[in-house]
Amino acid sequence: MAEITVTEHLLLHQKQSPHATEQFTGLLYDLILSGKTIARRINKAGLLDLLGGTGEINVQGENVQKMDEIANRILTYRMERCGALCAMSSEENAELVRIKPEFPRGDYILIFDPLDGSSNIDVNINVGTLFSILHRPEGKRGEVSLEEVLQPGHNQAAAGYILYGPSTMFVFSTGQGVHGFTLDPGVGEFLLSHPNMRIPEQGKIYSVNEGYRKNWSAATCEAVDWFHNCETQDGTPYSSRYVGALVADFHRTLIYGGIFMYPADIKRPEGKLRLMCEAAPLAFLAEQAGGRASDGRGRIMERKPECLHSRTPLFIGSSNDVAAVEKIYAQHRHAQTDLIFTGAL
Ligand code: P6P
């Protein structure tokens, strides 16, 4: 396969991609540069005593890992200078970051989780950076208001992730399909390795943390039990896989198919995962790849965030597998048993 970089790929698709403007290409370039910088730091983390937490707690109430902070600093420094943004929101920052007047500004808004799954770093398991790119609403000028940022996922101009694993991958979509690029460390470029990625309409892997079962509703228990009992198209049972890093669990689902689930539970009635920087970008990719992404009731892409850090339940992957979950929740809603929380069955 010819060695095609992300920028070349964008320009090749210039006519279809309304976003292949100078500003947007510059945005992606600096996002990619940040990803390469973070990859290098992660690969050395174990050697530079960057493992472990800083002892601080972030806005999510989570223990901040050193690499979280470093990744957040790398992205914030680079992206506030890229000239394409008017505002940014990081999973690590409680408040919206408005681009300061001394920096060039543009019409895009970047929402990101600098290092998702960072607790896995200490045990050398995949972590990832997630990003979502929105347009500033037409006709808005002056200071960006929070309301301008709180947009539903179907407004996204682009979304994607960088997966730091055995190889570092950049997977994204601008609405013209999903394309995966693998970093060639020798060259220092992400090269097209997975053009036009598609999720199989049914998979054979389900992915959920069953340790929370005692806190699930009856509907959620039934939805997960569905995958304990259903069979793949070749008549074999589903396998269970759970990395504990959303980007890694999603990437496997994107390639192999199946379903990743993070349901609500009695302690987290809105779920754990963040709508704007985790569920919405992955929902954009899933739908672009022919899959589905739901909160159990309807499309993640339709949900309007109440705040920057709104959370949502997430069921994402093969269209048939996600549809099976939605059907079970609909039956329980109809029977008005969808909010009954059961103990361990
Ligand atoms: P649990 C990582 O902390 C994360 O936000 C996602 O990357 C991952 O899918 C999820 O939490 C894992 O959560 O409760 O199963 O450990």
CATH number at 136 reads 3.30.540.10
Tell me, yes or no, whether 120 and 49 share the same domain. Answer: yes
- What does the pLDDT read at residue 21? 75
Q: How many domains does the chain have?
A: 2
Q: What is the mean pLDDT of residues 324-338?
A: 89
Q: 242 in ligand 1 pocket by Cβ < 6 Å? A: no
Q: Greater confidence, 210 or 54?
A: 210
Query: Coil, helix or strand for 133?
Result: strand
Residue 290 domain-assigned (yes or no) = yes
Q: Which helix (H) or strand (E) holds 260?
A: strand 259-262
Q: 208, 241, 246, 268: which to mutate for ligand 1, most atoms within 8 A of CB?
A: 246
Instruction: Write the residue with the smallest CA distance to atom 3 of ligand 1.
Output: 117
- What does the pLDDT read at residue 343? 45
Tell me, yes or no, whether 270 and 340 share the same domain. Answer: yes
Tell me, yes or no, whether 65 and 175 share the same domain. Answer: yes
Closest residue by Cα to residue 309 from 256, 263, 272: 272
Q: 248 in ligand 1 pocket by Cβ < 6 Å? A: no
Residue 200 domain-assigned (yes or no) = no
Backbone angles phi, psi at 205, to 5 degrees: -135, 130
For residue 17, name the pLDDT band (cuts at 50, 70, 90): low
For residue 225, name the pLDDT band (cuts at 50, 70, 90): very high
Question: Where among 174, 194, 214 does a domain terminate?
Answer: 194
CB-based contacts of 274: which residues, under 8 Å, 6+ apart?
A: 60, 91, 113, 309, 310, 311, 312
Query: Which residues sit opposite 189 in a β-bridge?
Result: 184
Q: 116 in ligand 1 pocket by Cβ < 6 Å? A: yes
Residue 199 domain-assigned (yes or no) = no
DSSP 154-221: GG-SEEEEEEESSSEEEEEESSS--EEEEEETTTTEEEEEE-S----SS-SEEE--GGGGGGSBHHHH
Distance 281 CA to ligand 1 centre (A): 16
Q: Look at 45-59, 87-101, 202-216, 320-334 and tell me which has the smallest mean pLDDT.
A: 45-59
> What CATH number is associated with residue 263?
3.40.190.80
- What does the pLDDT read at residue 344? 38
For residue 50, name the pLDDT band (cuts at 50, 70, 90): low
Q: 117 in ligand 1 pocket by Cβ < 6 Å? A: yes
Tell me, yes or no, whether 258 and 323 share the same domain. Answer: yes
Number of H helices, E strands in the chain: 8, 15
Tell me, yes or no, whether 285 and 326 share the same domain. Answer: yes
Tell me, yes or no, whether 66 and 102 share the same domain. Answer: yes
Q: Look at 14-18, 69-73, 145-149 and tell me which has the smallest mean pLDDT.
A: 14-18
Q: Greater confidence, 291 or 142?
A: 291
Joined together, the tokens standing for residue 289 give 């790849």
Residue 217 domain-assigned (yes or no) = yes
Question: Where among 194, 222, 240 does a domain terminate?
Answer: 194
Joined together, the tokens standing for residue 328 give 């079970």
- What does the pLDDT read at residue 119? 83
Known binding-site residue numbers for Mg(2+):
91, 113, 115-116, 278
Q: Which residue is associated with the tokens 């001394």? A: 102
Q: 208 in ligand 1 pocket by Cβ < 6 Å? A: no
- What does the pLDDT read at residue 1? 60
Tell me, yes or no, whether 30 and 134 share the same domain. Answer: yes
pLDDT at 18 over 70: no
Question: Exposed e or buried b for every residue in 197-231, given b needs 16+ CB within 10 A?
Answer: bebbebbbbbbbeeebbebbbbbbbbbbebbeeee
User: What are the pLDDT digits (tens) for 148-171?
Assistant: 999 999 999 999 999 999 999 999
Q: 222 in ligand 1 pocket by Cβ < 6 Å? A: no
Residue 304 domain-assigned (yes or no) = yes
Distance 57 CA to ligand 1 centre (A): 16
Residue 186: how many other CB atoms lie within 10 Å: 6
Question: Where among 194, 222, 237 does a domain terminate?
Answer: 194
Q: Which helix (H) or strand (E) holds 135?
A: strand 127-135
Tell me, yes or no, whether 51 and 178 share the same domain. Answer: yes
Joined together, the tokens standing for residue 296 give 């159990």
Residue 155 domain-assigned (yes or no) = yes
Tell me, yes or no, whether 188 and 221 share the same domain. Answer: no
CB-based contacts of 43: which residues, under 8 Å, 6+ apart?
A: none
Q: 62, 247, 262: which to mutate for ligand 1, most atoms within 8 A of CB?
A: 262
Distance 246 CA to ligand 1 centre (A): 6
Tell me, yes or no, whether 140 and 62 share the same domain. Answer: yes
Q: What is the mean pLDDT of residues 84-94?
A: 97
pLDDT at 198 over 50: yes
Question: What's the whole-number average pLDDT of the chain?
Answer: 92
Closest residue by Cα to residue 26 from 84, 110, 109: 84
Distance 209 CA to ligand 1 centre (A): 9
Instruction: Write the residue with the smallest CA distance to atom 4 of ligand 1.
Output: 117
Tell me, yes or no, whether 259 and 179 share the same domain. Answer: no
Residue 189: how many other CB atoms lie within 10 Å: 18
Residue 1 domain-assigned (yes or no) = no
Residue 249 domain-assigned (yes or no) = yes
Distance 117 CA to ligand 1 centre (A): 6
Q: 245 in ligand 1 pocket by Cβ < 6 Å? A: yes
- What does the pLDDT read at residue 43? 85
Q: What is the mean pLDDT of residues 226-247?
A: 95
Closest residue by Cα to residue 316 from 272, 276, 258, 277: 258
Q: What is the mean pLDDT of residues 177-187?
A: 95
- What does the pLDDT read at residue 341? 62
Tell me, yes or no, whether 10 and 122 share the same domain. Answer: yes
| Residue 154, domain extent | 6-194
